[in-house]
Amino acid sequence: MSAILDAIRAKFPAHVMAVHDRLGQETVTVGADGLRPLVEWLRTPEGGSYEFLVDLAGVDGMNLGWKTHRFEVVYHFRNMENGRRLRVRAALPAVDPHLPTVSDLWRCANWFEREVWDMFGVRFDGHPNLKRILTHHRFVGHALRKDYFVKDQQWLDDGAESLMDELGDYGENPDDGGFSELVPVNIGPAHPATHGTLRILAKLDGETIVKAVQEIGYLHRAFEKHSEVGTWTQVIPYTDRLNYCSAMLNNVAYCAGVERLLGIDVPERCQAIRVIVGEMSRIIDHLVCIGAALVDLGALTNFWYAFAIREKAYVALEGLCGARLTSSYVRIGGVSDDLNPAFIEQVRDFCRELPKAVDDILGLVKKNRIFLDRVVGVGIMPRDEALSWGFTGPCLRASGIGYDIRKAEPYSGYDRYDFSVPTRTEGDTAARFFVRFDEMIESMRIIEQALDKLPSGPVFSTDRRVVPPAKTDVYKNIEALMNHFVLVYDGIKVPKGESYMATEGANGELGFYLVSDGSGRPYRVRVRPPCFPIFGALPRLVEGSMVADAVAVLGSLNIIAGELDR
């Protein structure tokens, strides 16, 4: 048992219900009234400086056989200095589950807690705005509870919520003695700048945004509920649709998460392939982000430069797995097909042409006075606030914190490649742009190295628990046939337990918190979407600036509605 778990047990003997560090993941279960003192202590240096709240999710333990409680709210923390992670599970009763809020300690907890309220009906005392976030405001019940049957559909047709209660009064501006009038304006959900379906309700003084509130959930597809219905393998196509600009990265994140829970390793060649396709997806994602954000700034030509090179990547991926956008290429324990020679050639071409394409786009903007005026110093996320807002990925690195999971907690053999983590200190829109430009070049370097030292060997694990037998065996051999049948019909039997697997998605930390009850179906699939907390910080970034700035900031954050709303 590790030192921190012992320390916690010693410090909070009355509240700690259980501790474990299975799969190397330190976990504490506490009673509801012990949560707040515990997390406050964990933030302090003697408590381990767990200053980053990575994720906050609910679990309904109805079918898990918990004796003392039904619900749990799971907090994932990370110490940003030494990279240690800690999971805190707060136990809650079946009747009127409620917890003290931590949204005053971590700003990102505001939305995470709203989501837990929405999905599990756990109240958070002291929460400033405990409303539904993903489902419709007239929705009845809590969808991720195990007793909410998946086919219980509700007919909700009375339009969007007005949100005026969050926006507050409008009318005359009290700040200038009522001289100017404030106008509420809906930016989205159907607005050219809100790619996907986001809604921002802004209160404007002239063109200056005095206050902004967001509404999300327009693209909510109940990913987490859906995942509980099928087998573990059947979740993979759903993950494609999370961040649909970089589906491969989602596939990798999910499969790696399940593999960690299963405790299996994939062959080195498979890891290298995952790195190649993942980094290509990352480049595609950044190209889409940059291209679309520049369109929002009125620079339309860059979009075509970005999409011309993106097309080359998609042609290569199409040749590999038959799909462009929704690849479903990665499998639990491997990848669906080995690389073909044409793919390798196409990827090498792509890597040769990418620097030119990046230079072309940069050439139009890097020294462009209009562009720099629009983005430099606009939408600043200060370094000391970024973590509290739950920023990860390029947006965090633009604020000066060089946190990249590929470096910090390498998976898929990222430690075998030489690459750097581009970081900027300004935290403004320009920094977010330029970090992405630099990251594309780093990703390209990783791909080239992976291709150069591509190991030979199988692309699938040999573990019989996850790998179906070869087709020739299935046709000739009764054991193989039975094995195949059971794998397809019952699904992969993942041992009982829980695991959190963090990967570096295109937008930041893409984590899967998986709970298995030992059957062939996932008990709980929780995805930590990087966009979600980032979009939560939008008012912080745009209030006080102009509508045009808000559009620029939104573009640089790269909010993907599929991942945001799930």
546 contributes a contact to other proteins by CB under 8 A = yes
Q: Which ranges of 142-267 would DSSP assign to H, the alpha helix?
A: 164-167, 223-227, 236-240, 247-262
Q: From the CB of 535, what's the least distance to other proteins, in Å?
A: 18
Task: Report yes or no: 169 and 202 within 8 Å, Cβ to Cβ.
Answer: no
Residue placing its CB nearer to other proteins in the complex, 143 or 289: 289
Residue placing its CB nearer to other proteins in the complex, 68 or 301: 301
Q: From the CB of 536, what's the least distance to other proteins, in Å?
A: 23
Residue placing its CB nearer to other proteins in the complex, 175 or 479: 175
> Using H for helix, E for strand and C for coil, what is the string for 469-501?
CCHHHHHHCHHHHHHHHHHHHHCCCCCCEEEEE
Q: Give the interface segment with other proteins, choosing from 294-302, 381-389, 401-409, 461-469 (CB under 8 A).
A: 294-302
Q: From the CB of 212, what's the least distance to other proteins, in Å?
A: 14
191 contributes a contact to other proteins by CB under 8 A = yes
167 contributes a contact to other proteins by CB under 8 A = no
183 contributes a contact to other proteins by CB under 8 A = yes
Task: Report yes or no: 58 and 71 within 8 Å, Cβ to Cβ.
Answer: yes
Cα–Cα nearest to 565, from 530, 532, 533: 532
What are the tokens at 116? 């837990």
144 contributes a contact to other proteins by CB under 8 A = no
308 contributes a contact to other proteins by CB under 8 A = yes
List the one residue from 397, 424, 484, 493 that touches other proteins (CB under 8 A). 424
Q: From the CB of 177, what's the least distance to other proteins, in Å?
A: 8
DSSP letter (8 states) at residue 157: -
Q: Give the interface segment with other proteins, choosing from 95-103, 125-133, 288-296, 408-416 (CB under 8 A).
A: 288-296
List the one residue from 301, 340, 420, 462 that touches other proteins (CB under 8 A). 301
Distance CA 379, CA 365 (A): 18
Q: Give the interface segment with other proteins, choosing from 410-418, 522-530, 542-550, 557-565 (CB under 8 A).
A: 542-550
Q: From the CB of 163, what's the least distance to other proteins, in Å?
A: 16
Task: Report yes or no: 240 and 251 within 8 Å, Cβ to Cβ.
Answer: yes
> Total binding residues for other proteins by CB under 8 A?
42
Peptide bond into 458 cis (omega under 30): no
Residue placing its CB nearer to other proteins in the complex, 305 or 389: 305
List the one residue from 83, 126, 263, 298 that touches other proteins (CB under 8 A). 298
CB contact set of 516 (below 8 Å; sequence gap of 6+):
261, 494, 495, 496, 497, 498, 522, 523
Distance CA 559, CA 191 (A): 14
Site string for other proteins, 379-418 (x = CB under 8 A): ----------------------------------------
Task: Report yes or no: 89 and 27 within 8 Å, Cβ to Cβ.
Answer: yes
Task: Report yes or no: 175 and 184 within 8 Å, Cβ to Cβ.
Answer: no
296 contributes a contact to other proteins by CB under 8 A = yes
DSSP 3-state of 292 = helix
297 contributes a contact to other proteins by CB under 8 A = yes
Q: From the CB of 284, what's the least distance to other proteins, in Å?
A: 18
DSSP string, 505-552: -SSSEEEEEEEE-SSSSEEEEEEE-THHHHHHTHHHHHTTSBHHHHHH
List the one residue from 222, 249, 277, 299 that touches other proteins (CB under 8 A). 299
Distance CA 462, CA 153 (A): 42
Q: Give the interface segment with other proteins, choosing from 121-129, 316-324, 373-381, 409-417 (CB under 8 A).
A: 373-381
What are the tokens at 130? 């405990």
442 contributes a contact to other proteins by CB under 8 A = no
Task: Report yes or no: 530 and 563 within 8 Å, Cβ to Cβ.
Answer: yes
175 contributes a contact to other proteins by CB under 8 A = yes
371 contributes a contact to other proteins by CB under 8 A = yes
Task: Report yes or no: 126 and 104 within 8 Å, Cβ to Cβ.
Answer: yes
Residue placing its CB nearer to other proteins in the complex, 342 or 370: 370
23 contributes a contact to other proteins by CB under 8 A = no
What are the tokens at 192? 């050219």
Distance CA 362, CA 354 (A): 12
CA distances from 547 to 15, 187, 309, 541 (A): 49, 9, 31, 12
Q: Which amino acid is located at 286 in the chain?
A: H
7: left (phi over 0), alpha (psi -120 to 50) or beta: alpha
Task: Report yes or no: 405 and 502 within 8 Å, Cβ to Cβ.
Answer: yes
Q: From the CB of 297, what's the least distance to other proteins, in Å?
A: 4
Q: From the CB of 299, what's the least distance to other proteins, in Å?
A: 4
Q: Which amino acid is located at 545 in the chain?
A: S
Site for other proteins in 341-370 (CB under 8 A): 364-370
Residue placing its CB nearer to other proteins in the complex, 23 or 546: 546
Q: From the CB of 162, what's the least distance to other proteins, in Å?
A: 16
Q: Give the interface segment with other proteins, choosing from 301-309, 345-353, 500-508, 520-528 (CB under 8 A).
A: 301-309
Q: Which residues bind other proteins (CB under 8 A)?
A: 175-177, 181, 183, 185, 191-193, 206-207, 294-301, 304-305, 308, 364-374, 376, 424, 426, 434, 546-549, 551
